[in-house]
Every structure is written in structure tokens, then in C-alpha cells.
Amino acid sequence: MAPLSKTFHEAETLYRRIQSDLIARYESIDGGRFDMDAWDRPGGGGGLTRVLSDGAVFEKAAVNVSAVQGPAPKKLTEHLGVEASWFGATGVSLILHPRNPYIPTMHANLRYFETDTGTAWCGGGADLTPYYYFDQDAFHFHRTLSEACQRHEAGDYQRWKTTCDEYFWLPHRGESRGIGGIFFDHETDVNSMLALQSDLGSAIADAYLPIVDRHKESPYGEAQERWQHQRRGRYVEFNLIHDRGTKFGLQTDGRTESILVSLPPRVRFDYNAVPSPGSPEQELIDVLTSPPRIWVT
């Protein structure tokens, strides 16, 4: 059994701390509690999946940490284009599906990967999927992430914002999943990246929780909820058809329930549901089908 590096253990410790900190902040705004579900990976390692179901603010929320290691499967080395016989991967990922349709869904993850042949990199990102569009939310979200990136040598908000826009494009719908954020991968300046990820650990909450606060008491009815459920359908389409992490996790016998915990709780697939012209629903579609906006210059 190849030893994991000191950096691997630092990264895992960081992600576990971020998991605890974020859960404390989410529980404080929701009032509910996250369940604990610890699991082992047959090949080596394991994780802690923490889920809040049917909360007052979050209909479904999950913050997961995993730290796995083992002989590098052929699928993995081919996929990554590296030569290695052993790998270690650790990360924290989160998904927040709020109940109120005026609050956007948020997703983020922070990851570290290494092999026994000296490859080591960080990946991750954070992005926002609104059901109704508000300028103020989009600016605040992007500005907060941008500021965290600027505080570190390895941070590159503009490039990561573009990568995010490209990644979250749903080709068969001709629209974006949401209004983006940042997305980075294979970042090899690991020391600077871990410091940045530590900072992002709190920025992820700072970027989102004020938006939750702003909308959590907004009144809504069945029509807004139906729209939210239909849009969640697009989220499902993205995750099951395109999301690399989901695909890769399922193909490499990852823990299915922890991978698919990202799927929204209640979803609708209605045939040809099209909002009426000039409606707030259509305004969102206009944003998602237009070229990505510049939120922070």
C-alpha cells in the first residue's frame, strides 16, 4: 500500500473542517439538523455524507466529504491521462436545494488528487442556479467568489468564470444551467490552491447565505413552485447527462447514494412547458439563453 502524502492529509483535514463549518452555518439559518452517514469504500478509504431533508429553508441539503485511495483503476488513469499505479482523492462537495423558489440552488466542491508518480492537483468550483433572476444576487455571488480568488497567487477568477460558463452549458436545451460562478481543475500550484480553497470554504457561505436571507420570506404560490420543479428537471438533465463527476463516479463504482444526493428532491417533467412572454420566468430563460454576462470586471 503506497503511502499518502502529508499534503493529502492536510487537504482531507481542511475539507473536514470546511464541512463542519458550513453545516454549522446552514443549520443556523435553517433550524434543522444534518444527519450523519459514514461509509467505507471497499477498495480503500470512505466518506461522511451529511444530509438535511425537509428543512424549513432547505428542502434538501447535503455536504459530503470523501477521502479514497487505492490501486489506480485503468478507467481513472485513462480519463486523467496520467501514468500511475496508486491514487488518492479527497474532497468536499455540497448541494443546497432551497424550498422557496426565489432562492437559487447552490452547488460547490473542492478537491485534491494525487498519484504515487508525483501528480498532484486541486480542482473545484461553485455555481448558482436561480429559478428567478435578480441582478443583486448574481453580482453578490460573483463578487464574493472573485474577491476570495484575488487574495491568492493561484487564483484566476476570470479564467475560472469562463470555464464555469462553458461547463454548465446544456447543449440539447441551448441554455445554461444557471448563472455560473467558478470552475477549476488540474491546478498544480497545490500550496497556494489549498490556501485558496480554505478561503473559499467560507466564501462559499458568504456568497450564498445573504441571498438566502433576502428571499427566504418571499411569498410564493403553486405557480412559482411548479416552475421551480420544472427547472429542477433541467438540473437533473444536466447532472445525469453531462456532469463529469456524476458520470465518472457511477462508472467507477462510486457510492451511488452519495453521488446522486445532488439531485433535487421534488421534480417535474412537463411536456413543452414554456413561460409566457414578459413573465419573470421568461426573464430567467432570457438570461440563460444569452451569452454569459460579465458580473465582475
119 near 84, Cβ under 8 Å?
A: yes
172 is an active site residue: no
Q: How far is the CB of 225 from a second copy (least distance, A)?
A: 12
Q: Which residue lies nearer to a second copy by CB, 24 or 241?
A: 241
Q: How far is the CB of 226 from a second copy (least distance, A)?
A: 10
Which of these ranges, 15-23, 196-204, 207-215, 248-256, lies near a second copy under the rule CB under 8 A? Answer: 248-256
- What is residue 238's three-state secondary structure? helix
DSSP 215: H
174 near 122, Cβ under 8 Å?
A: no
20 near a second copy, judged by CB under 8 A: no
Q: What is the DSSP string of 132-166?
A: S--HHHHHHHHHHHHHHHHTSTT--HHHHHHHHHH
Looking up cell 456568497, which residue turns up? 207
Mask for 160-199, x = binds a second copy (CB under 8 A) = ------------xx--------------------------
* Burial of 216: CB neighbours in 10 Å, binned 0-12, 13-18, 19+: middle
Q: Which one of residues 151, 244, 266, 293 is an interface residue with a second copy (CB under 8 A)?
A: 266
What is the SS3 assignment for 79-99? Answer: HHCCCCCEEEEEEEEEEEEEC
Q: How far is the CB of 257 from a second copy (least distance, A)?
A: 5
From 9, 79, 97, 107, the catalytic residue: 107
Q: Which one of residues 210, 233, 245, 292 is an interface residue with a second copy (CB under 8 A)?
A: 233
List residues near a second copy by CB under 8 A: 37, 49, 51, 53, 60, 62, 172-173, 229, 233, 236-237, 240-241, 250, 253, 256-257, 260-261, 263-272
Active site (catalytic) residues: 107
